[in-house]
Each structure stands twice: as C-alpha cells, then as structure tokens.
Structure 1
Amino acid sequence: MRLGSPGLLLLLFSSLRADTQEKEVRAMVGSDVELSCACPEGSRFDLNDVYVYWQTSESKTVVTYHIPQNSSLDNVDSHYRNRALMSPAGMQRGDFSLRLFNVTPQDEQKFHCLVLSQSLGFQEVLSVVVTLHVAANFSVPVVSTPHNPSQDELTFTCTSINGYPRPNVYWINKTDNSLLDQALQNDTVFLNTRGLYDVVSVLRIARTPSLNIGCCIENVLLRQNLTVGSQTGNNIGERDKITENPVSTREKTEVTWSVLAVLCLLVAVAVAIGWVCRDRWLRRSYAGVWAVRPEPELAGHV
C-alpha cells in the first residue's frame, strides 16, 4: 500500500480519530520556531517504516511530510516550501518536530503532526496539534499636539505601525492615570502589505488648562504597553513629566532661614525644660517636634 498521493494523505487525516496531544507556542515575526512533536526519550524508528505528515488543522494545507523511499515534496504548499523542515536524524530518535523558518503573520494557525507505522498496519503512533501564536512589536506611538491652542475642543492623533496581533488603544489622563472615555476616540486599524497591523487613533476632547494625556498601544499577546504622553497649555512639548508649582530661589532661601530659626528656638526651649525638670523629664518619653513623620508619598503619578 502506497500513501504518497495527496488524496490518501487527506483521507488519513480526516478518518483517523485518536487521542491527540495539544500544545501551544509563540514566535515573533521573522524568527524561527520549533513545533514539537516527539515520542518519549529512548524511542527508535526506522525511516523506511514511518509516515510523517504535517498540515494545518483547519485548511488542511500540506506543510511537509516524510514518505519512505520518496524524497519528493511536490505536494507541499508554496507558502511552506523551503521553510518547513524535519530532521532525519531526529526522526530516527522519535523526534518529528517541525522547524519553521522566517515566521509570518499567516503562520498563526493550528498545525497537526501525524506519525503512522507501516509495519503495524499503518497504525497511528503519534498525533500532536500545535497552536502557533504570532506576535510583532508595535512601533513607539507618535502623538500629535494640537496646533491651535485657542480652540474649545482639542484633537490629538496617535499613530503606531507594524505590530501583531490587533492592538488595543487607550487614551490616558496622566494627571491621575485614569482612562478616558473610549467614546471620545475614533480608531482605525488595518493590515499593511506585510500582514502587520497599523493603527491611527484620533481623540477629541474639551480643552482644559494644562491638559496632560497619553496614548497607550497594548499588545495583549506580548503583555506590552507602549505609552507616549502629550501636554497642552504652558507645558506644550513636555512628555511624561510631573510638573509642580515653581518656587523662586529667593522664596526658597527665605523659607529655609525661617525653618532654621524656628528649629533653633525649639531647641532652646527643649534645653531649658530639660534643665529645670532634670531626671523626672528625662525618664519620660518625648515625641514632640523631634518625632519623625514621613512625608506622604505622591500617588497616581508616573
């Protein structure tokens, strides 16, 4: 019995129903990845006895295969030709893993590995389905600042390109790190010629003094958030920076001397009290002006 024809190959995949191992793997666009399909260590196989098939689970696209005494791979789909390989030495050890080169977004699929033994009446030896998740980093967002600060409504545009999978876009009020209402934004997400996603988000918001906002591009698969800020008002052009009320050098000096004078007075009073009360006061705990009170930390700032 020969199993070299594509029709019989597809028939085997559709008719055999046995327990199948399920696995998942992630890969970056442009990288190489291994889809694991292996028997326990110590297994040995004769390459003249085993038939190995790799194909996509849903479309039944032929990825690669091994047929005894047949080196032709004419039935491999053009998308995977010269990109999907198995190791003959590995197969002899029971490792039928697939090495996939130069991963593309179109490779995000379920891949089925099936191994049959001719000597066992073409009984299934191994069946594995590997789900491949593909990802690509988005570019750092570029946020435009409104050119007309006198308008009552301000329009911001956030752009990021060449990422995968489809992103989530958020606008943030960086004053308190709260999310702005998504009804205020209009997102356009589309696939470019590389099969990657580009995104343009337009935010329209009422003008307020010193508005400080940020645009966040979230890649869920990579657990990655890229955030860039943009300010309006007197601080246009500053990004991701906490601004405080400015204090002049003279004012700082006057405040410093005032604090020192008060401290000196308190020290003198404490010494006088200690001299008069002597041991009775020394034996009692005192936590007045000398108590250390930590300054409250600013919360909600980035």
Structure 2
Amino acid sequence: MKIISAGLLLLLLSGLRADNKKIEVRAMVGSTVDLSCIYPEENSFKLNELFVYWQIDINGEPKSVAYYLSGNSSVGHDEYKDRAQMSLDSMKQGDFSLHLYNITPQDEQEFNCLVFRNLTKIWHVVVMLHVAANYSMPVVIAPSNASQDEELTFTCMSKDGYPRPNVYWINRTDNSLLDEALQNSTATLNARGLYDVVSVLRIRWTPNVNVGCCIENVLLHQNLTVSSQTGALKEDEGSNPDIPGGDTYALRNRVVVAVLAVLIVAVAIAVGWACRGQCPHWSYAAGAQASRSELELTGQPLLGGG
C-alpha cells in the first residue's frame, strides 16, 4: 500500500505541473459550497477505474482533503472530517465536484482536483475559494462636551467580517474623504477567524462636525456607513416657543388674551339678555361700553367709531 501511495503521489505532483483549468468560487462563512470539477469529454465512468484526489497546499506541502480509490473513499486532512464529500453517482457521469460544508475563513485557498483513469491523469482543475462574511453595522462613538481648544476624537467599531476591510472616514458636509493621516485603523482576527476592526479619527475642533465611518467589504461589494455629529443645531431664538419675548411666545399670549376677552363679552351679553326685564339700569349702550373695554385689552381696532 505504501508503494502504491508513493507512486500515486508522484503522479499527482507531475499532474500539478501540467496545464490545468482554473475556477474562482465565492462562499459565505457557515454556508455550503460545491467546488466544481466536471470532465467535459465523457459522461460515463466505471468507478473501479477511477482515482479522484482533492488536495490543498499547506506551507508548500500537498495535503489531502478527500479522495476516491477503487471503491474506497475517504477524507484526508482532519480539518475536513465530516465537511468534505464526493458523490459516487455523480462521478459515474463525470462530475467529480467536492461538496464542502460549514465554510470557515481558513478554507480560503486553492483546491486541486485531479482525476486519474487507470493511473493516467485525464483531468485537473484548480478551484480558488474566496470566503466572505458580513461585517456588523458600524458603531460610532462621538466626543461629548469638547471645548474649542481640544481635539475631537471619533471611534468606529465593527466586527465578525471577512476578508479584512477597508475603513474610510467621510466629511458628510460634502461627502469627501478625510485624510487617512487623521485616522488609525486596526483589524484583528477573533476566535472565529473573523476580523474585528476599530478605527479612531482625530480632527481639530469645529462646531457641529458631521462625519461618517464607512466599512468596505471588497469581496461582497458592500459599504456600511454610519454618521455621527457633534453639537446640536441651534434654533432661531425669535422662533423658539420656550424663549419668553420670542415671536411665538408673544403670539401665544395674544391669542390667550383674545380668547378670554371674547368669553367675557359673551358672558356679559348673556347676562344682559337674561335680566334685561329685571335690571332697569341695563342698556345696549352699557353692554357696548363693556364690549369696548374688553376688546381694547386685545389691542384690536373697534369698528364703527371711537
């Protein structure tokens, strides 16, 4: 068995030096992907004539991922145990693709598919697997209560993404990119093999600074952007309803006075109608005079004289 394995290894190495077909595949972390290896010239094979070998290179040395040989199929490298599989029915039809489950960032590499019939190499495909993971929505921490003689420091954080991201800070006033010299970004691999990124932006103090932090995942063509603003926009003092003496405040007072005046006049008229037969001293002139006095409280002009 050792002699056969050594001979097969020599065949594999010689096959790697020959021309081969290259394919690029993209997969998300945690998903399942098919690494395609389909023989184009024939769709009928006898399994006992086949040797199919999937391998990767680790530190320059070939490592088995999965293989099939004369009725015996197995997974080589421990990392792919229970994660790599070929279909016997598909291989009979010339489809030697590898089904790879639960993708991890470590799977981003070249996979070689080598197909032999009676120890003669008939097909070789190189599949480059690109792995991606979505970054979390960035969180931006803005400075608070910064004085004019202090530097403004913004911190942007995002995690669990792949591959390593590009980080940009944006001036949201005109959507221009801020100078990279103003920022310091660090991306580190976490326990899951994914990137966590922290970026710190330092700029001189300016009132009402509005900046955005952008996390770019090039492989997914994805940009996640969150804005952050310092200070608060000041409202026009003359239109602030909480400022005594403002236009809105004065208008509110005038409305209240006018409503009260109308109510007083209405009550006076009602009383006059109710007791005109019992109150000999009441007259229309007196009622009018009362109306004049109350209307004058509102500052409105009187109709019909005066």
TM-score past 0.5 threshold: yes
Aligned counterpart, 1:36: 36
Q: 3-state DSSP class of the match of 1:134?
A: strand
Q: Which residue of 1 aligns with 2:21?
A: 21
Paired amino acid for 1:221 = L
Q: CA deviation at 1:111?
A: 0.3
Is 142-151 or 195-204 further displaced after alignment?
142-151
Cα offset for 1:245?
A: 8.4
How many residues matched? 238
Residue 247 of structure 1 and its aligned partner are, at CA, apart by: 9.8
In structure 2, the partner of 1:194 is: 192
Fraction of identical pairs, as percent: 60
Residues 58-99 of structure 1: CA deviation (Å, up to 9, x unaligned): 54121000000334x2x6100011101000000000000000
User: 1:81-230 counterparts in 2 under 5 A?
Assistant: 81-118=81-118, 122-151=119-148, 152-230=150-228
Q: Deviations over 1:108-144 (max 9, x none)?
A: 00000000011xxx22111000000000000000000
Q: TM-score, normalised by structure 1?
A: 0.73
CA distance in 1, matches of 2:210, 2:8: 61
Distance 1:46 1:218, change over 3 A: same
SS of the aligned residue for 2:70 comes to coil
AA in 2 matched with 1:11:
L
Of Structure 1 and Structure 2, which has the larger fraction of its residues in helix?
A: 2
**2:263 maps to what in 1?**
none
Query: C-alpha displacement at 1:32, in angstroms?
Result: 0.3
**2: CA distance, partners of 1:233 / 1:223:** 33
Structure 1 residue runs of 5 or longer lacking an equivalent are 236-242, 252-302
Q: Deviations over 1:38-70 (max 9, x none)?
A: 012751000000100000145412100000033
- SS of 1:228's partner is strand
Are residues 246 and 190 of structure 1, via their aligned partners in 2, closer, same or farther at CA, if it must alter by over 3 Å? farther
Query: For residues 244 and 86 of structure 1, what CA distance do their matches in structure 2 show?
Result: 68
Larger Cα-atom Rg = 2
* Residue from 63, 67, 70 that aligns with 1:68: 70
Q: Structure 1 229/117 Cα, relative in aligned 2: closer, same or farther at 3 Å?
A: same
Determine the C-alpha separation between the residues in 1 that align with 2:220 and 2:61. 27
Supply the AA of the counterpart residue of 1:167. P
Q: Are residues 12 and 244 of structure 1, via their aligned partners in 2, closer, same or farther at CA, if it must alter by over 3 Å?
A: farther
| Distance in 2 separating the partners of 1:244 and 1:183 | 35
Amino acid at match of 2:142: T
CA RMSD of aligned residues (A): 2.5
Alpha-carbon spacing, 1:246–1:4, altered in 2? closer, same or farther (3 Å): farther
Partner SS, residue 61 of structure 1? strand
Separation (CA, whole Å) in 2 of partners of 1:108 and 1:222: 15
3-state DSSP class of the match of 1:79?
Answer: helix
Change (3 A) 1:199 1:59: farther
Q: Name the stretch that deviates more: 62-71 or 147-156.
A: 147-156
Shift in Å at residue 150 of structure 1? 1.4
Unmatched 5+ stretches in structure 2: 241-246, 249-306
Q: What is the TM-score with the length of structure 2 in the denominator? A: 0.72
